[in-house]
């Protein structure tokens, strides 16, 4: 089994874990961490799967992963600010369950 | 090509510069700088549309870096229409925000506003799937920031929900793009279309991309994040979100759908999207009818209107050229009419809420006598949303109707007609409240600034005029380009 395939399967596993955690948990920080796990899985698939069968490494997926990491960091930072403000206002780490009229 | 030879890069450079400058400048200069930026944006958009009309689709490589590592921009007729639409709606919303927001809030509004506009233009002009992703994420971050801007508990909750839904959607999209790159070795939309082959990887990728984009467009039943976010944000923000932001992911879906020939190969998925659209029309309309909060009525109406736009997907059938063309034109016109009408309606609703000082419908009693101009703006937008002639919404529904008859899918006609009745019901319900008289004196109402009433009216009138001038946008989107080649 080539290392690219290991990366790909590792990535798929991480994506699955992240997605499960994102949907299953209600704690906002846990969901954020799960989102980051999902993101890292995606990046692993990008570097692993995209280079399948080629001997030399392809610069495009690496550039994409770098951009993706920057975007994920920005999104995580924004989410952390919002969660902190939510905690300050409500002393809660979860959103109230849907109570739509 | 240098920066000077094409107006295309300026459509990204100006808003990004605007975002940075308005953060750095002293507060009192921010509005003036934004006004200058808006004017130059309008000039750049008009110049570029002139070029596209005169000499066909334009390609531009940022900083002379060629794809795949560089950022390629592409402008065809459809992209131009969206650029002009976002220029018109954003500048009017900015004018409204100038009077609506207090000075200290306004100072922080401008950077987010410019980031929003930059990412919208980035999406309209993107030539490859990864730039679309970056644009979509930047758009999410700016939009979530703007929702949280109202700074109360409910809007904070709404913005967290919005952020989480949007992050999940764009990560699904990115996973799809990763698989596409693995299967095809390219990211550019045109070379993807050239080398396209269906296999298990492509199918999984398309499923992930479509699912992610549906979540971001708030398609029923994935719409639950939309009403609190759009209904709870500050008025100019609600208008921008409903009119433009949800259109971005829809636009991407449309490009994938047509340029990659998905509609030819997965007719059952097209029907599924149509069914989701029908669900959105009925559920959104029903929920709009049951709301007590004025802006939530308008927000649920957005959920329903997204459904009409989705109806174009099952109608884009392979083999029947006329029906597909009509569906394409009707869908785009529906989108444009909704952008104008919904922005006008949100701004008018905001004015009404300033008058009464309360968000609920009960408080509107006597308003039709006190603020006829704003009620008129609300009503004109409502006419377009209901699809009464001679509005833009009517022309769009007419085209979709003809398309469904031509392609023999009569059941969508039933959906269109019943949906229009439902939208008439929730709009007239709002009107019924404004005509009520409670016997109290009218002077307890506050008065919105004249510029706020006029911006709402301009947008609503534009959505009606679109019915008379429907040929102009339709000619623009029918200019030769990659999209037109891919249609049957």
Residue pLDDT tens, chain B, 488 long? 566 778 888 999 999 999 999 989 888 888 888 899 999 999 999 999 999 888 888 888 877 777 667 788 889 889 999 999 999 999 999 999 988 888 777 778 899 999 999 999 999 999 889 899 999 999 999 999 999 887 788 889 999 999 999 999 999 999 999 998 888 888 888 888 888 888 888 889 999 999 999 999 999 888 889 999 998 889 999 999 999 999 999 999 999 998 888 888 888 888 999 999 999 999 999 999 999 999 999 999 999 999 999 999 998 876 678 888 889 999 999 999 999 999 999 999 999 888 888 888 888 887 777 788 888 999 999 999 998 888 999 999 999 999 999 888 889 999 999 999 999 999 999 888 888 876 565 556 778 888 888 999 999 999 999 999 888 898 888 888 888 877 77
Q: Do A98 and B224 touch (CB under 8 A)?
A: yes
Alpha carbon distance A33, A24 (integer Å)? 12
Closest partner CB to B182 (pick from A28, A50, A74): A50
- Tell whether B105 is within 8 A of chain A (Cβ): no
Residue B13 lies in a domain: no
- Name B396's Cβ contacts closer than 8 Å, sequence gap at least 6: B308, B330, B331, B333, B334, B336, B337, B387
**How far apart, in whole angstroms, are the C-alpha atoms of residue B347 and residue B388?**
21
Does the distance separating the beta carbons of A67 and B141 come in below 8 Å?
Answer: no
Distance CA B302, CA B226 (A): 9
Q: How many domains does chain B have?
A: 1
Cα nearest neighbour of A18 on chain B: B168
pLDDT of A101 reads: 38
Q: How far is CA B377 from CA B14, B343, B346, B381, in A?
A: 31, 11, 10, 6
Q: Select from A28, A42, A79 the Cβ nearest to the Cβ of B171.
A: A42
- Cα separation of B218 and B404, whole Å? 24
Between β-strands B58-61 and B72-75, what pairing exists: parallel, antiparallel or unpaired? antiparallel
Are B160 and A95 in contact (CB < 8 Å)?
yes
CA distance B208 to chain A (A): 12
Nearest to A83 among B160, B171, B179 (CB): B160
**Is the minimum CB–CB distance between B134 and chain A shorter than 8 Å?**
yes
Of A28, A52, A71, the CB nearest to B160: A28
pLDDT of B124: 94
Residues of B within 8 A of A39 (CB-CB) are 171, 174
Residue B450 lies in a domain: yes
Containing structural domain, residue B370: 278-488
Burial readout B46-56 (b: 16 or more C-beta within 10 A, e: otherwise): eebbebbeeee
* A-interface mutation test, from B148, B152, B170, B171, most A Cβ less than 10 A away: B171
Q: Which of B182, B211, B286 to mutate to test the interface with A (most CBs of A within 10 A)?
A: B182
How many helices (H) and strands (E) are present in chain B, helices listed first? 23, 2
Tell me if B334 sits within 8 A of B397, measured CB to CB: yes
Cis peptide before B90 (omega within 30 of 0): no
What are the residue ranges spanned by the domains of chain A? 3-90
**What CA–CA distance (Å, rounded) separates B355 from B392?**
29
Q: What is the pLDDT of residue B132?
A: 93
Q: What is the ipTM of this complex?
A: 0.92
Say if residues B379 and B431 touch (Cβ distance below 8 Å): yes
Min Cα–Cα distance to chain B from A2, Å: 15
Q: Find, in chain B, the residue whose alpha carbon is nearest to that of A92.
A: B157
Note the CATH number of domain A3-90: 1.10.287.3510
Q: Is B180 among the domain residues? A: no
Whether pLDDT at A99 is above 50: no
Nearest to B251 by CA among B368, B61, B465, B85: B85
């Amino acid at each position: 089994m080539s290392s690219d395939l290991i990366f790909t399967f590792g990535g798929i596993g991480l994506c699955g874990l992240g997605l499960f955690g994102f949907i299953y948990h209600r704690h906002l920080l846990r969901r954020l961490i799960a989102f980051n796990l999902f993101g890292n899985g995606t990046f692993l698939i990008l570097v692993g799967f995209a280079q399948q069968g080629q001997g030399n490494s392809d610069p495009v997926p690496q550039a994409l992963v770098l951009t993706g990491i920057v975007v994920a960091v920005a999104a995580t930072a924004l989410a952390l600010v919002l969660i902190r403000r939510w905690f300050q206002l409500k002393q809660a780490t979860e959103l109230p369950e849907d109570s739509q009229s | 090509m240098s920066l000077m030879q094409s107006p295309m890069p300026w459509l990204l450079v100006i808003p990004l510069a605007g975002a940075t400058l308005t953060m750095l400048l002293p507060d009192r200069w921010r509005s003036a700088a934004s006004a200058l930026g808006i004017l130059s944006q309008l000039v750049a958009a008009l110049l570029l549309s002139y070029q596209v009309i005169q000499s066909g689709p334009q390609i531009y490589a940022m900083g002379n870096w060629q794809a795949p590592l560089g950022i390629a921009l592409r402008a065809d007729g459809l992209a131009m229409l969206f650029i002009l639409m976002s220029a018109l709606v954003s500048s009017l919303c900015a004018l409204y925000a100038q009077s609506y927001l207090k000075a200290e809030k306004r100072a922080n509004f401008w950077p987010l506003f410019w980031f929003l506009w930059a990412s919208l233009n980035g999406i309209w002009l993107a030539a490859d799937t990864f730039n679309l992703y970056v644009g979509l994420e930047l758009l999410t971050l700016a939009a979530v920031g703007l929702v949280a801007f109202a700074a109360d508990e409910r809007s904070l909750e709404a913005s967290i929900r919005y952020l989480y839904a949007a992050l999940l959607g764009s990560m699904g999209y990115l996973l799809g793009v990763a698989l596409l790159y693995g299967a095809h070795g390219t990211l550019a939309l045109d070379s993807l279309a050239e080398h396209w082959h269906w296999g298990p990887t492509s199918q999984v990728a398309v499923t992930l991309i479509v699912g992610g984009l549906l979540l971001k467009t708030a398609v029923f039943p994935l719409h639950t994040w939309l009403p609190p976010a759009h209904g709870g944000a500050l008025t100019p923000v609600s208008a921008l979100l409903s009119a433009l932001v949800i259109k971005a992911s829809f636009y991407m879906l449309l490009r994938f759908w047509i340029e990659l020939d998905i509609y030819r190969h997965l007719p059952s998925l097209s029907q599924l999207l149509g069914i989701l659209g029908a669900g959105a029309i009925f559920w959104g309309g029903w929920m709009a009818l049951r709301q007590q909060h004025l802006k939530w009525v308008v927000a649920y109406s957005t959920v329903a209107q997204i459904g009409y736009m989705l109806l174009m997907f099952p109608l884009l059938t392979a083999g029947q050229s006329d029906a597909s063309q009509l569906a394409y034109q009707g869908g785009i016109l529906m989108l444009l009419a909704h952008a104008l009408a919904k922005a006008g309606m949100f701004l008018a609703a905001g004015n009404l809420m300033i008058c009464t000082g309360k968000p609920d419908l009960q408080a509107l009693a006597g308003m039709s006598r006190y603020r006829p101009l704003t009620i008129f703006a609300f009503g004109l937008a409502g006419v377009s949303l209901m699809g009464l002639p001679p509005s833009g919404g009517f022309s769009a529904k007419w085209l979709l109707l003809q398309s469904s008859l031509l392609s023999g899918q009569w059941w969508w006609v039933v959906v269109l007609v019943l949906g229009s009745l439902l939208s008439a019901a929730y709009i007239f319900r709002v009107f019924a409240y404004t005509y009520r008289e409670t016997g109290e004196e009218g002077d307890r109402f506050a008065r919105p600034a004249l510029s706020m009433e006029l911006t709402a009216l301009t947008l609503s009138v534009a959505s009606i005029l679109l019915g008379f001038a429907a040929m102009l946008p339709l000619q623009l989107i029918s200019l030769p380009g990659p999209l037109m080649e891919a249609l049957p």
